[in-house]
């Protein structure tokens, strides 16, 4: 019982630290645009819309949208990277990071589009510290790279990639309302029809299929910064 209480106290303290950090950094930039092609817009929480350009700052709560020929690559404060290809839409739900303790939390909501990511410092702390949400699932990320395709009507696809710098393959866990699936093999891929269906049995895509499916997002991915 005493150990359980201590564990709860530690978890509560960590949550409190993240909340305080979020309040302190809510008006600070959480990332920067490193790649911008075509027509890409950023809508701030106050409704202001700006055109995305290389060097533009990203803030918590921003909505990022790409048109039929647009794509964007972002480097976040914890050195994680994210790219979104054409006809995409995403919201930076949460990005809180303390470079001193290297603690924080990250949550991206992808409504539509093909995307890729490489995790940074936040994902090293806990499997739930960095998450990506789509219309069908939530993805927990632990020290790796990956990609996905979110669609409003035709289900979502998720793939695991090796880290482009170290070559190490971590894992991602994709969870729906009724179950979950962990990917831990390079190019392993699963598909989800809707939020009330199980992820499909994983398959391993050949490199050619990965490039064909994720090519536009891979092309927009910024070079990973030094960790």
Range of the domain at 159: 33-220
Where on the phi/psi map is residue 79: left (φ > 0), alpha (ψ -120 to 50), or beta? left
Query: Which H or E element spans position 6?
Result: helix 2-25
pLDDT at 26: 52
Which CATH number does the domain housing residue 111 bear? 2.60.120.1440
Structurally, the chain folds into a number of domains equal to 1
Closest CA to 60 of 98, 30, 84: 30
- 99 falls in which pLDDT band (50, 70, 90)? very high
User: Which residue, chain included where needed, has tokens 């991915």?
Assistant: 221
Q: Is the pLDDT of residue 175 over 60?
A: yes
pLDDT at 128: 86
Neighbouring-strand partners of residue 7: none
Q: Is residue 27 part of a domain?
A: no
C-alpha angle 158-162-164 in degrees, rounded to nearest 5: 115
- 187 falls in which pLDDT band (50, 70, 90)? very high
Q: Is residue 7 part of a domain?
A: no
């Amino acid at each position: 019982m005493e150990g359980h209480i201590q564990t709860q106290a530690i978890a509560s303290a960590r949550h409190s630290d993240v909340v305080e950090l979020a309040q302190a950094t809510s008006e600070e930039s959480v990332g920067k645009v490193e790649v911008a092609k075509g027509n890409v817009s950023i809508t701030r929480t106050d409704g202001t819309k700006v055109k995305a350009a290389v060097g533009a700052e990203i803030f918590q709560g921003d909505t990022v949208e790409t048109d039929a020929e647009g794509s964007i690559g972002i480097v976040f404060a914890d050195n994680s990277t994210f790219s979104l290809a054409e006809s995409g839409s995403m919201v930076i739900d949460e990005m809180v990071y303390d470079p001193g303790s290297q603690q924080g939390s990250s949550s991206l909501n992808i409504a539509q589009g093909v995307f890729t990511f490489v995790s940074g410092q936040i994902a090293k702390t806990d499997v739930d510290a960095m998450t990506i949400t789509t219309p069908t699932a939530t993805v927990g990320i632990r020290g790796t790279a990956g990609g996905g395709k979110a669609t409003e009507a035709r289900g979502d696809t998720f793939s695991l990639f090796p880290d482009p710098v170290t070559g190490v393959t971590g894992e991602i866990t994709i969870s729906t309302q009724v179950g979950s699936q962990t990917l831990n093999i390079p190019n392993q891929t699963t598909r989800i029809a809707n939020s009330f269906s199980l992820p499909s049995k994983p398959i391993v895509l050949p490199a050619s299929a990965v490039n064909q499916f994720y090519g536009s997002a891979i092309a927009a991915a910024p070079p990973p910064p030094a960790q």
